[in-house]
Each structure stands twice: as C-alpha cells, then as structure tokens.
Amino acid sequence: MIQPFRLHPATALLCLALPLVALGACSNTGASPASEAALASPTLPGQEIATRLCSGCHAIGRTDESPHPDALPFRKISIRYPVRNLEEALGEGIFVGHPDMPPFQLEPDDIDELLDYIESIQDPA
C-alpha cells in the first residue's frame, strides 16, 4: 500500500501563504503615496479618539482643513491657549466650542491620550 505524502503543518502553511504574499507584493492597489504613508504610520491612541469623536468638524491632522467652518483645527489650539487647559472641560463634559458642538465627556486616560496627540501636532509658534 502506498502511503500518502504528508507535509508538516508549518510547511503546509508556508506553501499556502507564499503565493499570497507574492501576489500582494506584485499587485498595484492604486493607492496614492499619501494614503500609503498614512497606512504605514501607526495611529496613536489620541489620534484614534480625535478621529472618532472630533474629525466630523475639526481638522485633526497637521495639514487638513476643518469640515466645519467654525471648528478650530486642532493644530492651532495652542495659538489661543495652552492645550492642557482643555483637560478639565473634557473631563466634566465639554459644552463650548463652535455653536453646534455636541457635548461629550471623556475618561481620564482618554483625555491624556487626546491631549498628548493634540500637543504633538501643534503648529510651531
């Protein structure tokens, strides 16, 4: 009786994965250099919070424009006041900003992460 040929499970997985890796390396997704750079850079925890809660109105990056005309870009906050001045308002529930800003309240760890992120993108004075 002929014994069936068997591969070690790790070898079998490698044999399945290599063609997929090769296809991915050779494919052209049409992504722009800017989007490729964004995908390559890790998202900071504070950036994720800003994206989820704030990006509907505010510019949250170094160069983007605010979708809402009355929403201050995050990179310009320190022009008006120290970024850390927002700490108490974010913890108690921020109700000011542009007139139609929705109220929200953050946990202490989220406040620190968001403010760390905002401080990291400030325009030079």
What is the pLDDT at residue 42?
A: 58
The string of DSSP codes covering the chain is: -PPPP---HHHHHHHHHHHHHHHHHH------HHHHHHHHSPPPHHHHHHHHHTTTTS--SSS---SSTTSPPGGGHHHHS-GGGGHHHHHH-B--SSTTPPPB---HHHHHHHHHHHHHTPPP-
Q: Which domains does the chain have, with CATH numbers?
A: 43-125 (1.10.760.10)
What is the pLDDT at residue 92?
A: 82
**10-residue block means of pLDDT along the chain (125 residues)?**
42 35 36 38 85 94 94 95 91 70 86 96 86
pTM over 0.85: no
